[in-house]
Structure formats: C-alpha cells, structure tokens
Structure 1
Amino acid sequence: MISVLRRFSTVEGISTLVLFLVAMPLKYKFGYPMAVTYVGWVHGVLFAGLWLMFLLAVVMRKLPVRLAVRGMIAAIVPFGPFLLEADGLRRFHAQCPNAS
C-alpha cells in the first residue's frame, strides 16, 4: 500500500508540474485554453485520488495519521509531494517494510 501511495504521490506531483510549466503557458502565452482544461481535469482527479489514498492508508492502519496529514498538506503545495517523498514516505517505508 505504501509503495503504491509513494508512486501515486509522485505522479500527482508530476501532474502539478505539467499543469504549471506546460498547460498554463500554453493558455496564457499561446492562447490555447484547452490545455488547462484537460491537464487541470487530470490533475484534479489525481489530487482527489491522492487524498483518498492517504485516508485509505490511515483506515487500513498502514500509515500514521500524522504522516497522512502531512501528505495531504504537501499535495496542496507545488513540489510538496516530492518533498514528502524525500522526507517522510521513503523513511517510513524503510522503517516499516511490512506496511507495503
């Protein structure tokens, strides 16, 4: 479960970067608003899915509540999922390998 959560968090972080670095410039510099429509929709689905995965990990007792809350907050901040991966999730996974 934790390894899937780590991968999903990384994918959600990448979707944020694609939204900010590709879709938004396409909309505001090149007049192509559909880029934000599609990429924004995908990012929104991934964001909601990440929050649900954190909640599910807590309910299944695979992740401490405190780390899940940190993950949910990190999902709001650009680059947050990458920082969480570097700090919290990787360390937790190393300490509790049976939590996967």
Structure 2
Amino acid sequence: MINFFRVVSFLEGISYILLLFVAVPIKYLQGDPTYVKMLGMPHGLLFVGYIVLAIMLKYELNWNTKTFGIVCLLSVLPFGTFFVGNYLNKETT
C-alpha cells in the first residue's frame, strides 16, 4: 500500500502544481476559468485519496503523530508531496 500511496502523492503533487501555476493564472490573467474547472475535480479527488491513504497507513504502519502530521502538512505545500517518499524512507530506516 505504501507504493500506491507514493504514486498517489506524486499525482496529487502534479495536479496541485498544474492548478496553482497554470490554471489559476490563466483564470485571473485571461478571465478563462475552464482550466480551473478541468483540473479542480481531479486534484480534489487525488487530495482526498491522499488523506484517506495517509490515515490508513498511519494505523497500518503505526506512524506516530509527528510523522502523520508531516505527511499531512506536505499535502498542502506546493511541491510538498514530492518529498513524501524521501521522508518516509528516512522515518522507516
């Protein structure tokens, strides 16, 4: 399940970057909300999936509160989810 979580975290990070740095500027600079609508739903689903998987892994891998908190914090920081795999590797070794 941890490998699936890493894939979801990567995809969530890509969708977040596209939403923040492509779709939102187009919306406000060109007045075209199409890309925000197109990218918003997949990003939202990936974000919810990321959080649900993090909760499941918290119990499966007996994460402490600090590890779980950092994994959740990384989900709201731009580029944060790209570091989840490295962080989890450090925590498990």
TM-score range, shorter chain: 0.7 to 0.9
RMSD of aligned Cα (Å): 1.7
Report if the CA contact (8 A) 1:75-1:81 is conserved: yes
Identical residues among aligned pairs (%) = 30
Q: Which residue of 1 aligns with 2:69?
A: 69
Per-residue CA deviations over 1:23-70 (Å, capped at 9, x if unaligned) read 11221122210211221121111111100000011222x251332221
Instruction: Find the aligned partners of 1:34 and 1:63 in 2 and give their Cα distance.
Output: 42
Pick which of 2-11 and 48-57 moved more: 2-11
Report if the CA contact (8 A) 1:6-1:89 is conserved: no
Q: Which consecutive unaligned segments of at least 5 residues does structure 2 have?
A: none
Q: Which residue of 1 aligns with 2:88?
A: 89
1:48 to 1:18, Cα distance in 2 relative to 1, 3 A: same
Q: Which residue of 1 aligns with 2:45?
A: 45
**How many pairs align?**
92
